[in-house]
Structure formats: structure tokens, C-alpha cells
Structure 1
Amino acid sequence: MSKEKEREIIERFTENLNKKAKVNELAVIGREGEIKQLIYILSRMMKNNPLLIGHPGVGKTALVEGLVQRIKQERVPDYLKGKIVYQLDMMSLMAGTKFQGELEERLKVILNFMAQPENNAILFIDEIHLIVGAGRSQGALDVSNLLKPMLSRGEIQCIGATTREEYRQYIEKDGALVRRFSNILVPEPSREDTLRILHGIRNYFEIYYELKIYDEALLAAVNFSQRYLTATYLPDKAIDLLDETCGREKIEKLEEEASHNVLRKYFINREDVALTITQKYDLPVGKVLADEQQKLLFLPAILQQRVKGQGAALRAVSDAIFRARAGIQDPHRPLASFLFVGPTGVGKTEVALTIAEQLFDQKKNLIRLDMTEFSEPHSISKLIGSPPGYIGFEERPRLEIIREKMNSVVLFDEIEKSHPEVINILLQILDNGFLTLANGREVNFRNTIIVLTTNLGSELYFEKRKMEEIKKDLEFELKSHFRPEFLNRLDEIVFFNSLSKEVIREIIIKELELFIQRTFQEKNIKLRYNEEVVEKILNEAYSIEYGARPIKHYIEKKIGTLVARQVVSQLLVSGGNYLLNLEQGTQEIKITPLRSLETGKNLLNNFKERPVQETSEKKSSENEIPEKVSKLEEEIKSLKDDKLRLAAEIENERKSFRRQMEQMYKYGNKKLVSCVLDFFVDLEEKALKAMRADPEGKIKNHLLGIEMMRNIL
């Protein structure tokens, strides 16, 4: 082959990285330790070929570019001064090789060039696993066999880069190739290192996009990418998020400039990065921007609101999560791990769902695994995958979804029904925070919350004994079923109470409100209910064996069917007001139109839904007040059930607000909240007096004051 042809092959399939460094195309920030390790290996007498192994996007290629920068700056040992690093383009090298031996011929030319001492060359092969098996399809030798002898004789120096999975799948099987390289594991950089990298490359983004990037945008790119882009790795995902935000912002501003014919100077802040996340994942901006401390602060109150009658259990869960988020927990384990013990229908799954929504923003971040599916020895392969060569090896293991949703709650439901081998898998997860699947891939559980539920000893709850006595028997049941090393690895074993009738009544009211909101919110129909309906549901749906679970089914089946029939029959019309009550005699649930509710409706809606108009400062005369009171009393008497409903609604709002205030008092500024609470009570008393005396005058001011305080808080 002529020298011109050889030179053409060299220029076509390799790139001189030293020339890129001359024109400042290589921007490398950080990674000082890994670059030094790279230099140490290159300076060795034997086995001086580094192999960079790390996840995609962690900066393997950037390490080589950092080495080139040091060579140009002569910040390397004398042996490496003047070295030229050539990057081999493997895809171009293999492209268009139609004839047998053509690929080997190209590679041999390149290797001979690298072996000549006067060229002073180091070969860099990115995605080096591609050389393993390349050429076999043409009936020729594996091209890696061309590289091995030259590496073993020390004729060339080579730097390789590959991912952990591809190293295991391709290179590790070839022992002769492995022994020629010295491995350098390239970890994912920390948040602090990633932030330094973003600060270093910010100037390039600002010049390219002609905008200003604030420090808060860089910090948001790191935090939001870590929280939401869990399938990829730092710093690549943070850089991608910042790049996408800048591109979107520039396009939007250019459109504004075109429409308004003005020239604007614009910038990128934290809200812009959050908007990119909301568009990608269809999340409310407020949830993305919500501070982590705020989410933690309100977690106990939200748990108490969603799950009734489990005060002690919820406090134990909240405290464990507080410890994890404060950094007190071992960073090499999951954020928190719980075993929820209790009968069915007491709120175990609801707690896990609430944690996923509050801390990780979406219901989708609850990963539920039903352990009844894993009760046989062979079913373990569903969790971690089948070994190579076995049926099902190509199928995706169930736990691999954690790689895409590292920030999530993983729920192992009814763990007592699983095979003992599942417990062995959990031991590895709870102890190390990592799990290696059958295909060799690692799953990181260190940003997850592990929740295990069990119904063991649920029959003990049916005995009329104190919870402390039941708890001792439950502990004995757990120790007899689970191994000590498993129980000791859990952060908290949480015992749930059985639900009393009073708690069930609260759950019925909550489920009714959710049903009404879900069904009628978009139909502009108002449906209310009275206490008789609550009592009927309590008597017919409550079961100590099944807890609160039958209540939702009862509401959907009985009331849902009734509502569906009336909607289809067009008996429920938009803008109408209706009442759920009981039929006289049969005591069946029915829907009654409310046609005489204007007075009561105005009393509530004037101060909640409509802007309050300024009232005249003229006070009612002594003669007018008795007349108004008398008229109002007559109208209220005609309302019958509506009067009770209105009173109950006011009372429920008062209780709800008081509970909120008590939670704020517990976790917030106690002195401020105490003053506000006293002021609210005073306003409340005045409002109730005004309602009895002058509903068209003073009540507006008092209820408006209450509403203002509610909005401020």
C-alpha cells in the first residue's frame, strides 16, 4: 500500500486530539485524581495501557481530553512530553468494509503508524468493546487479535474506554485482552463536582446562546437532574438539562422579539430550569420548585390528613425519613426501610403512596411488587432475571425499573408470602444499597425508600386487648417467621392500629368528598350529603376484618351506580344543587334536588367564591334587625335537612382549619401561630354572632377576615 493511501487512512479514521487542544476545543474541569491515575499507568514500564470503565456520561472521554491538555501544558512526566493522542473512530473504521480482510487491513495500517517511535503516538479507542468480535461475520479473525500481540510486546500504547455493562459482556470474557490493560474505574461525580463543571462551562453556553445564566440555574440543573433524570448520570444529565433549557428559552424569546419587534436581553434562572422539567414530565411547576425542607416539614400533616387513626405509626415513619434527609443515616444504604405490620385495610399502602407523592412528586414513583407472585423458587428470576443461557434471559427483570426511577418508594407488598430467597435479595439491598442483576447490571437503591408490608398476626387484632399487649405477640410472630439478620437491617418496624368506628366515620367523610370532587368537579354540579348517609355507609360497609378497604368499594358501587343512572337519565343538570339522603321507609340512599337553598348558598358562597362588595356603613335600624332575623329564621326552617348540612359544613371547616393550625403550631413558629389562632377564634365567634344577628352586614366583614387569614397562612 502506498504511503499516500496509508496517510489517507490515518487522517480518515483517527483524530489528533492535540490539535483540538491548540484551538481550545477541549474544556475539562475537575477529575484531577483520575487524570493523575491515568498518567501513572501510562508511565509504567509494563501493562501501561489504561482502560477507563464507567457509566455513560460520567466523563471517560473528558479524562483523556484532560490528559491532552496537560501534555500541551507540559504538566506531565518527561516520558509523556511531546506525545500525540489519536482517537480511533471505530464506527467509521468498520463502515463500508465489504470484502474479507478489508477491516483488518485498515486497522493494521493504523496500528503500524502508532508503533513507529518517531510518531510518538498514543492510541485512544472509545467504545473499545466494539473491537471484540469485529470481523468475525466476514469469516476472518477477531480484530482484537491484531491488537493483543502489539500490546503485549509494548509496541504501542493504547487507552480504552467502555461502560461497566459492556466490559462484563464483551471484554471480561477475553482474558488475554483483559490482562493487557490496567483498569481505572470512573465513578459518577458528586453534586459539588458537577456544579464546578457547570461553572466552568457556563461561559461557552452564554456565548453560544447569547444569554446570562445565573448561579441558581446551575444549582437547579444539578438538583433537578438528580431528582428527575434518574436513568442517566452526572455530569452529562445536568449539562443536557441546562442545554435544553437555554435552547428553549432562546427560541421563546426570539418569538417574542419577532412579535413585539423589540430587542431584549434575557437570562436563565431557577424557574426556567424547572419549566423544562415540567414540560418533560407533565408536573406542576410548584411541585418542582418546592424546597426539599418544605416537603419534609409538611409530610407529617399530609400523612395525618390522608391516613386516619394511625398517629403513632405515622410519627415513627416521619421521624425515620427526617433522619435520612438530615444525613444521619448510613449513605451506603437506602434512604429508609420500613416493615409495616397490621391487618388489611388500615392504611399501610396509602402511607407508601403518600410518601411517594410528597417526597418524589408523583404516584408513578411508587413501585409496587406483589410478593404473592414470588412464592416459588423459580419466580425469583422475575425479580433479578435469568442467568445467561436460560429461558427468559432476554426478558427485563422487574427490579431493573429502579435504574430509571432511582428516586422512588419500592413497596414489597405482603412480604411474608414470598419465597425465602427474596429475603436474601433484600438483605443485599438493605445492607449495601446495591443489587447486581443476573445480566450483570447494577441497580442503585440508595435514593429509594423501601417499604415492606405484612399481615402476619392480623387475627390478634380481633381480640379485645390493648395495643401494647397485641404488639408483644406481633413481635413474637415476626421473630418466628423472619430471620434476625433481616429484622435488624430495617430502620423501623411500624405497627398499625385496627380502625375504630370513629376513625372509619372520618374515612367515610374523606372518601365521600373525594368521590364528589372526582365525579362532579368538571360538571358544575354540587352534591352534598347528610349524617344519615354517613351512618348508613358505616353500618353496611364497616368490617373489623377488612378495615377501610370496603368503604371505597361501597361508595363506588352504591352511590356511583345511583349517580350514573341519574346522569344518564339527565336528572342531574349542570349548575344544580343536590343532597344525598335516605328515603323515608326504605332507608335507601337517594338524591334530592335542593331548590330552596338560595339563602344558605349565599351565606357561604358570597365569602368563598365571589368578590365581596363594599357594604354601606349605615347600620341597620333597631326595627330592621328583628324583621331580618325573623325572615331569616323562617327561611332556615324551610330548609330542613339543608340547615343541618350548612351547620355541619361550617363545623367541618372550623375543625379542618384548627387541625391545620395545630400542625403548624407543632412544626412551625409557635408564638406566631398561637397569636393567629387566638385571632381566628375571636373572628369565628364574632362571625357566628353576626350570622344570627345581621347576615347581610357584619357577617361579610368577619368571614372575609377569616378567609384573609386562611389565605395568608
Structure 2
Amino acid sequence: MEHLDLHSVRANKARLGKKVGTFGYNSIFALGFVMLLTGGLLVYADYHLGWSLVGISLFCYMAALWVQYDLLVVKASGQGLNNRISKDVLTALDPKQPMTPQSVWQALSNHWQTMFIMNHLILPPHFVDDLLTVDEAGMEVIWQRATILADHQQSSTIEPGHVAAALLLTSPNVAASLTKIKHKPADVEAIANWLGRELALFTRKKPKFGGIGRDWANGYTPRLNRFGTNISRAIEQQNIEFGTLADSPGVTAVKAAFSQGTAAVALVGEEGIGKTSHAYALAQNLLAETKDRNLEHRQIIALSPTQIISVARGPGDLEYIISALMNEAAHAGNIVLFLDDAQLFFQDGPGSMNATQILLPVLQSRRVQFVFALTPRDFQQLKSTNQAFANLLTPVVLQELSEAGVLESLTRAATNFEIQQKLVVSYEALLEAYRLSGRYEQDLAYPGKAIQLLEQSLVHNVSGIVNAQAVQAAIEQTKGVKAGSAAPAEADQLLNLEDQIHQRMINQSRAVSVVANALRRARAGVSNPNRPVGSFLFLGPTGVGKTELAKSIAATYFGDATNMIRLDMSEYQQESDVARMLSGGEHESSNLLLQVRQKPFSVVLLDEIEKAHPNILNLLLQMLDEGQLTDDRGRKASFKDTVVIATSNAGADTIRERIEKGEELESFEKQFIDELINGGQFKPELLNRFDEIVLFRPLKPEELAQVVGLMLNEVNQTLSQQQISVELSDAAVQKIVEVGNDPRLGARPMRRAMQRAVEDVVAQKILKQEAQPGDHIALDASDLSL
């Protein structure tokens, strides 16, 4: 690798150009103009001195041209470091100082390209000052890396951004420091490429696409101008650049179809996949087309169905407008009509119109070319309702972009947001928008869902910077999930989760501990993010706290006991119930997938799982494995932020008998599960999918007394609005336990006993005005109506 020569001709020109600058150029040009004007006047007056001034003016103009086209530009003059290094680098470096990584960084740290990289890393420029070496020999690898970056971006010059990125990428000290703040070398390289795309856009010459002569050749199109948007003209006037999308497989396929004489193409893709962006990229590609005369100078005009419908006063008026638009496009000759949300042209109803009978003869005559944007579902519906029309469309199915493609789209969107709202959108925000939108947004495709989330995060900026936390705040606000790191208060809550759960339920310490550990793992980010937060099978007799533990999780971890979706699996015993569970109906309140979309951060409780049809259990396998299910309309519902709990009374008698014999749960738990498998009650592949299988034991009398205490707290909470409280003596508590205890039903009869013993007595006292606000009612066993 050659050494950078700061005394070369190019380097001297660059420094001289910086000294002369725009002011010097303007001064030389003005001096030449004055000399020419004065000399001309003197020549006219027959003074020989005038010819000398004219000569000086010509010299000034030659000098001005030299400054303008040589000194102020210093273009790349071939291959090699010294021939490609940009004038900004040459003028920033001091030829009198040793050239080391540290000195080069300090020289370039205030350049806007270096600031671009550091701002998008959310780092101050001085962050790396003391991390770089002062060894001159270390510059060789830096120049090599900068050259590689420039080559990758197809840049003829090596810019300050390339050098700054190379300094960050080649320093072990910088790499170690970036790792500590969760940055990777790939992030630096990605930001450098982002900068490279912006540089290419800034420096490229505005392309010429034919100008007024082309417009005259296309004809007069007043109606199309009124009801549509000329995409091609917008690209031409605003110098919009769609990067690699202009040569993507989708755009290439549409061009190939048109080149072969196809009259209409259907861009088929999910919402958010970029059908409109593909139309714009197609317009950019067609504007630059010079090889295929069938495509040369084609202009794309997007029609707005809502605007057409709003103007039309009836079906006849609507038919007249559409026919006039088609005739105008056919007369113009080089028009391609783009119909976004094309299904609005194919259906009857508010905000839509069925124009297929008007468009059908136009397509058959091939007088006008069309691009229709449709979702797969809408295209399928069109084929089922109007096969003749659908057969005239050549479908081009768009695929979701790769992660690299989505991130490139995000950088373009971020640049627009930065310009419009005077913000800095960090690269970590783009990565977080990609990650979180993929996890939580199931109804849109990439890149649309990532761009939408990024836009929603702008309002959460901190001091004008959109960081990863802003994106997390946006998803938490829109989806009701916890996406960010646990705050100190929440971390303390997680560490003491068992105590909080035990405030709502008695004993079952092993079950509580198992669930609490799973929730802590998920919140700390050390569990599998593609599966539910936790999945548990609770086994045990009725009334021992299985459902109550699920409610406690909803209240303590998910914030509210109502954040629970409960399904009685005894209602899903038929094979036909599979379709009911996967129904995409939006108005079925019992629909599991709809409820999960509405409450993605919740407990999913599947009661009496052993009663469900085997095909339902197969769906459960998929849910636990992949963290998602797909409805009958092809839409996914994510279970990745739910805690899935299945309960079963299978083997309840066995558990009760062995506990009564004095055995501990842990001593026979494995044997018990094996018996369930051997008995055919559960398939081993289902049991293996659960994070934990937890056995619940029957409650002892002293524990039932504690349950009475919890129920009494609920009564007092209800009475607190009337400022009345109730207290039970030990004898009263014991009597309720005796009456409400049923070994077969556990603690469930206790609530009925509580209602009869306490709530009925208190209600009578209130109605008889024997209890007033502020009173404390003490009840003994003899006071209870049992």
C-alpha cells in the first residue's frame, strides 16, 4: 500500500484551493470583469492602455477557470491512494505534523462526514481521541480499509467518512469500547455505507429525461393531471433516488412483462411490502430507459380512486370520468396507469367502485398499460369474482426484502425524517425498529412495518435524538408490551416476584418459584425470544390454586388481572373446533387469535387441556414451538409475549392419595408424569414442549384458614368505598374452613361459605342501618349464618 504524500501536486492544489476559496474565485472573476469593462471603454476612447487591461482581464478569467475547475475541485485522477484521496482529507491534514491514527482523527473529527457517523452512533467525536495510537506505521492498514470502503461504495474518491470509519474499524481499543456500549463493527460499516449513499445522491448530476419535447410528444392530459399524480415527473423534479430497488427483481419482472407486450401487471404483495415504492422505482427505471424503444420515455401516473369517487355524482358520472381518463391515457401514448389499492376499483361499497366492466375492454384492446397493486387476498378474490379480468393481468409476486434491504429502506426513511423534523435518527433505532416490528407487527410486511414503527418513535426523541429506547417506547405505547430494559423499580419487583404472588395465593411454593424464574429469564432477555415468555402445565386437584396463580401472574407481571385470555378447552372437543379456533373473524369475542392480537402481553389460560380434541393439541405444539399461529386468512398472531398456562385435573386422585400418605410432591413427580404418558392421557411430545410441568398439592386446613384471610381482604376492599371494615375471630375462620372444606373440590366451596357466612351478615347490617360509615364489624363463629 502506497504512503499518502501530503506534498504531492494534488495535495498542494487542494491546500491552495482552500486558501483561495470561493471568495478568492469571486474576487478574481470580479477583477477580470472590471478590467474588461474598463479596458473596453479605454479602447473605445482610443487609449492604448485599454488593450493591456483587456489582456489582464483575460488572464483573470483564465485564472478564475483554473480555480473553479481545478483548485476548488481537485478531482480523482486515477487509481491509487494519492490519486483518489479527496481534497477535504488533503486540506484537513497538516503536512508538517506526523501522520498517526490519533492526529488524523483529530484533523477530521469536525468534518460533517465524521459527525454523521458519530451522531448516528450517538457518540461525541472526542470519544475515540485517547483510544487511537500515535504510531505512524498504523496508518497503512487504515488507508487500506478506507480504500476498501470506497471501492465497496463505488466511490471514485476516498472521502473523510471512509477514513473516519476505517479509523474506528481498525482500532482494537475502539472496537472494545464500542462493544461495551452494545455497538458492533458492522454498525460502523453500515453507517459508512449509509453515508456513502447520501454522498452519491448529493454529488450525482441531475439526470435529463427528455424535457418539454417529451411532454409535448406525450400529449395534453388535463384529466389525468386532475385525478392522478405523475410519479415520473415527481421523480424528475425532486431528484428522488430509490437505490437498489430500481433494479430489484420485482421492477425487472414488470419491465420484462411490458417489453413483451403485456397490457397489465398486478403487483401482488402483503400490506407494507412496498408495492407503491416499487411503482416509483419502476418510474425511475423507465425514465432512464434508452435501450428498449417499447419502454423509452414511459411515464407512470397514479390514479386516486377516492378523488374520482368524491367528484362523481352517480354511476353514470363515474363511468364517464373513468372512460375519459382511459381515452386520455390512450391518446397520450406513453402513459402507464398505476392503481394503488386497486381492490377499490373492483368492488362495490362505501369508498370504492366496481369499474371492472369499464376497464375490461381497455385491457383487452391493449391501448393503455396498467400496474395494479393488490394483496394476495384481494387478487384471489378478484380471480374468484371476475376470472376474465384476472386472466388479463400478469402477476408479479413481491417478496419481503432481506434484512439488509429493509435496513437500506430504513436509512432512506430516516434521512427524510431527519430533514423534515430536524432530528438525528440513530442507527441503533433502525436496528430496533427492524427487530421489534418483526416481533410485534403481524399485519404488515417488511419494510413497511419497520418504517411505520420508526415514524411512531420520532415523538419519543430525547433532545432531538431518536434512539433504541424511543423505538421501545413507541412499541410499548402502540402494542401494550414491555420492550425496553427493566427499570430499577421493575427489576426490584421481578426479584421479589414470589412475595407479590404469595400476597394473592397460599403456598404452592414450587409452582410459584418455577413461574417466577421463567418470568425473570424472559424479562432479562436470556430466554428464547421466538417462543412464549413461559409455558407451563399445571396438574393437580380442583381448587388448589392453579387458576389463581394464573390470575396472580396477570396482575403482578402483566400489570392487571384482566390481562388474561381464558379458554375452556372442554368447548373444543370436536375436530370442527379447530377451524373455530383459527377463524379470522373480527367479531367473534371468543376467538383466541383475535384476543391475542388485542392483548399480546397477557396470560393465556387453557383450562382442562386434556378434554381438547387431539388436533387442538397439535396446534398447541405449534404455538409453543414457534410462538405464533396463523388464522384461516393467512394472518399471524404472536404468542411470544404471553405466558401460556394449561391446567388439568388428570391424576388428581393419585396426587391426593399420595399426599395424604405423607409423600412429598418432589419425590413422586417424575414417576407421576411417566404414568400419565403410559396411560395415554398426554403425548410425550406435548409434555416436552412445556417449560415446566408443575404439580399442585391439596391445601392443608391451616392453609385454608389463610385462604379465608385473603377472601376477607377482598370483602374489605369492596366495603372500603362505604368506609366499613370486617374482622373475623379465629373461631369464625375455623368454622368457615370446616363448612367450606371439601377434599374433592379444594378451596372452591370456601368462597360460597364466605358469601353465606360473612357477606350475607354484613349486607343485612347495612340494610338495617346497624352498620354506618366508619364502623368496624367484628364477627365471631356464633354471628355467622352457616
- TM-score range, shorter-chain basis? 0.5 to 0.7
Residue equivalent to 1:383: 581
Counterpart pick for 1:98 among 289, 308, 315: 315
Residue equivalent to 2:596: 402
1:44 partnered with 2:256: yes
Q: Deviations over 1:39-97 (max 9, x none)?
A: 43344366894615223x5654355456667888x7x9977896543212123345625
Contact persistence 1:132–1:142 (CA under 8 A): no
User: CA–CA distance in 2 between the matches of 1:166 and 1:444?
Assistant: 24
User: CA–CA distance in 1 between the matches of 2:513 and 2:290?
Assistant: 60
Contact persistence 1:511–1:552 (CA under 8 A): yes
Q: What secondary structure is seen at the aligned counterpart in 1 of 2:394? A: coil
Counterpart pick for 1:422 among 582, 591, 616: 616
- Alignment TM-score, normalising by the size of structure 1: 0.61
| Letter aligned with residue 12 of structure 1 | R
State the aligned residue count.
Answer: 545
Contact persistence 1:58–1:186 (CA under 8 A): yes
Contact persistence 2:230–2:300 (CA under 8 A): yes
User: CA–CA distance in 1 between the matches of 2:731 and 2:648?
Assistant: 35
Residue equivalent to 1:166: 378
Q: Deviations over 1:427-457 (max 9, x none)?
A: 3433444433334544333343322211111
Counterpart pick for 1:307 among 501, 505, 513: 505
Contact persistence 1:460–1:470 (CA under 8 A): no
Q: Identify which of structures 1 and 2 has the higher relative contact order when contacts are C-alpha pairs closer than 8 Å and 6+ apart.
A: 1
Relative to structure 1, the CA distance from residue 58 to residue 181 in structure 2 (aligned partners, 3 Å threshold; closer, same or farther) is closer
Residue equivalent to 1:686: none
1:374 partnered with 2:568: no
User: After the TM superposition, which residues 622-641 of structure 1 pair with which residues of structure 2 at under 5 Å, given as runs?
Assistant: none
1:485 partnered with 2:679: no
- Alignment TM-score, normalising by the size of structure 2: 0.56
User: CA–CA distance in 2 between the matches of 1:194 and 1:309?
Assistant: 53
Measure how far apart 1:373 and its partner are.
1.9
Q: What secondary structure is seen at the aligned counterpart in 1 of 2:224? A: helix
User: After the TM superposition, which residues 565-580 of structure 1 pair with which residues of structure 2 at under 5 Å, given as runs?
Assistant: 565-576=764-775, 578-580=776-778
Contact persistence 2:267–2:372 (CA under 8 A): yes
Q: Deviations over 1:584-628 (max 9, x none)?
A: xx46489xxxxxxxxxxxxxxxxxxxxxxxxxxxxxxxxxxxxxx
Residue equivalent to 1:504: 704
Residue equivalent to 2:734: 535
Contact persistence 1:375–1:418 (CA under 8 A): yes
Counterpart pick for 1:89 among 290, 294, 304: 304
Contact persistence 1:537–1:554 (CA under 8 A): yes
Q: What secondary structure is seen at the aligned counterpart in 1 of 2:600? A: coil
Measure how far apart 1:413 and its partner are.
1.3
Measure how far apart 1:498 and its partner are.
2.2
| Letter aligned with residue 15 of structure 1 | T
Contact persistence 1:220–1:273 (CA under 8 A): yes
User: After the TM superposition, which residues 527-566 of structure 1 pair with which residues of structure 2 at under 5 Å, given as runs?
Assistant: 527-566=726-765
Measure how far apart 1:503 and its partner are.
2.7
Contact persistence 2:481–2:600 (CA under 8 A): no
Contact persistence 2:617–2:686 (CA under 8 A): yes
Measure how far apart 1:184 and its partner are.
0.8
Contact persistence 1:17–1:65 (CA under 8 A): yes
| Letter aligned with residue 601 of structure 2 | N
Relative to structure 1, the CA distance from residue 172 to residue 139 in structure 2 (aligned partners, 3 Å threshold; closer, same or farther) is closer
| Letter aligned with residue 501 of structure 1 | P
Contact persistence 1:221–1:239 (CA under 8 A): yes
Measure how far apart 1:295 and its partner are.
6.0
User: CA–CA distance in 2 between the matches of 1:563 and 1:104?
Assistant: 75
Q: Deviations over 1:140-170 (max 9, x none)?
A: 86456346557xx7x8664443345434433
User: CA–CA distance in 2 between the matches of 1:380 and 1:195?
Assistant: 39
**Which moves more between the two structures, 185-194 or 343-352?**
185-194
| Letter aligned with residue 409 of structure 1 | V
Residue equivalent to 1:356: 554
1:462 partnered with 2:656: yes
User: CA–CA distance in 2 between the matches of 1:271 and 1:280?
Assistant: 14
User: CA–CA distance in 2 between the matches of 1:291 and 1:187?
Assistant: 39
Residue equivalent to 2:15: none
**Which moves more between the two structures, 218-227 or 35-44?**
218-227
| Letter aligned with residue 612 of structure 2 | S
Q: Deviations over 1:489-524 (max 9, x none)?
A: 33332222222233323322222223212321x333
Measure how far apart 1:180 and its partner are.
0.6
Q: Deviations over 1:616-669 (max 9, x none)?
A: xxxxxxxxxxxxxxxxxxxxxxxxxxxxxxxxxxxxxxxxxxxxxxxxxxxxxx
What stretches of structure 2 of length at least 5 have no aligned partner? 1-216
Relative to structure 1, the CA distance from residue 215 to residue 377 in structure 2 (aligned partners, 3 Å threshold; closer, same or farther) is closer
Contact persistence 1:49–1:180 (CA under 8 A): yes
Q: Deviations over 1:165-188 (max 9, x none)?
A: 434433577677376121113479
Q: What secondary structure is seen at the aligned counterpart in 2 of 1:543? A: coil
Contact persistence 1:53–1:164 (CA under 8 A): yes
1:109 partnered with 2:342: no
Residue equivalent to 2:715: 515
Measure how far apart 1:374 and its partner are.
2.1
User: CA–CA distance in 1 between the matches of 2:530 and 2:472?
Assistant: 29
User: CA–CA distance in 2 between the matches of 1:420 and 1:282?
Assistant: 33
Relative to structure 1, the CA distance from residue 394 to residue 98 in structure 2 (aligned partners, 3 Å threshold; closer, same or farther) is same
| Letter aligned with residue 304 of structure 2 | D
Relative to structure 1, the CA distance from residue 498 to residue 514 in structure 2 (aligned partners, 3 Å threshold; closer, same or farther) is same
Indicate the RMSD between aligned Cα atoms, in angstroms: 5.2
User: CA–CA distance in 1 between the matches of 2:622 and 2:732?
Assistant: 50
User: After the TM superposition, which residues 108-127 of structure 1 pair with which residues of structure 2 at under 5 Å, given as runs?
Assistant: 108-109=326-327, 112=330, 116=333, 119=334, 121-127=335-341
Residue equivalent to 2:542: 344
Q: What secondary structure is seen at the aligned counterpart in 1 of 2:544? A: coil
Relative to structure 1, the CA distance from residue 424 to residue 318 in structure 2 (aligned partners, 3 Å threshold; closer, same or farther) is same
Relative to structure 1, the CA distance from residue 220 to residue 456 in structure 2 (aligned partners, 3 Å threshold; closer, same or farther) is same
Measure how far apart 1:300 and its partner are.
3.9
Contact persistence 1:50–1:184 (CA under 8 A): no
User: CA–CA distance in 1 between the matches of 2:566 and 2:401?
Assistant: 30
Relative to structure 1, the CA distance from residue 300 to residue 244 in structure 2 (aligned partners, 3 Å threshold; closer, same or farther) is same
| Letter aligned with residue 607 of structure 2 | D
| Letter aligned with residue 749 of structure 2 | P
Residue equivalent to 2:723: 524
Residue equivalent to 1:639: none
Q: What secondary structure is seen at the aligned counterpart in 1 of 2:500? A: helix
Measure how far apart 1:15 and its partner are.
0.6
Contact persistence 1:332–1:433 (CA under 8 A): yes
Residue equivalent to 2:226: 12
1:129 partnered with 2:354: no
User: CA–CA distance in 2 between the matches of 1:84 and 1:291?
Assistant: 59
Residue equivalent to 2:102: none
Larger gyration radius, structure 1 or structure 2: 2
| Letter aligned with residue 421 of structure 1 | N
User: CA–CA distance in 2 between the matches of 1:322 and 1:131?
Assistant: 52
Contact persistence 1:372–1:418 (CA under 8 A): yes
**Which moves more between the two structures, 371-380 or 57-66?**
57-66
What stretches of structure 1 of length at least 5 have no aligned partner? 247-264, 387-391, 591-713
Measure how far apart 1:381 and its partner are.
4.2
User: CA–CA distance in 2 between the matches of 1:223 and 1:580?
Assistant: 57
Measure how far apart 1:238 and its partner are.
3.7
Contact persistence 2:453–2:475 (CA under 8 A): no
Contact persistence 2:519–2:533 (CA under 8 A): yes
User: CA–CA distance in 1 between the matches of 2:237 and 2:558?
Assistant: 44
Percent of residue pairs bearing the same amino acid type: 27
User: CA–CA distance in 1 between the matches of 2:501 and 2:376?
Assistant: 41
User: CA–CA distance in 2 between the matches of 1:530 and 1:269?
Assistant: 58
